[in-house]
Amino acid sequence: MNLSGYFILFTSMLLAVLLMIMPLPDGLAFIWPLWIVAVLGYWLYALPHRVSLGSALFFGILLDVFNNTLLGQHALALVTVAYIMEKMHHQIRLFFWWQQALLMMCLAAVYSFILFFVQSLLAEIHLSWPFWLPIISTGVIWPVVFALLRHYRQKFRIT
């Protein structure tokens, strides 16, 4: 992979991190997708030999630092998601787009439940219905993220 390929890959992951930490109005914050799960999921789907658990760890720690949360909780959640994607990337290639979107929702749920579990150890929090909205919206945006990143991967011949 050439330098422009690494730049596109790193920039898309960094943009996903920035979309995750961006301040939002209350109404939009409830349904804001888990962009990092979708973007990391795409790169693990498309280039499992280039993007690894180390990438998930790095961007997870970056999220922890930017969110000023317990160091390692986002990293743990992203590494878990990356591990599942890494083990399943051959099977996922055979899925239809809607099956991939459902899988992204499942991965977003794994990510969210790990964060919920870690946060529930630190403070008493309760699970409520808005918890599910980012998970659903992550599945909804998956076809768009997939098409957009695939376009750039093909345009810049990232292999």
Write out pLDDT tens, residues 47-76: 999 999 999 999 999 999 999 999 999 999
pLDDT of residue 54: 96
pLDDT of residue 26: 85
pLDDT of residue 56: 97
Q: What pLDDT, in 10s, does the model give residues 81-140? A: 999 999 998 999 999 999 999 999 999 999 999 999 999 998 888 888 889 999 999 999
Does residue 1 surpass a pLDDT of 80?
Answer: no
Q: What is the mean pLDDT of residues 1-13?
A: 90
What is this structure's pTM? 0.95
Residue 101 CB burial class (10 angstroms; 0-12, 13-18, ≥19): buried
Cβ pair 13, 55 in contact under 8 A: yes
Q: What pLDDT, in 10s, does the model give residues 126-153? A: 888 889 999 999 999 999 999 999 999 9
Q: What angle, rounded to 10 degrees, do the helices at 53-67 and 3-21 form?
A: 40
Q: What angle, rounded to 10 degrees, do the helices at 97-122 and 35-46 form?
A: 130
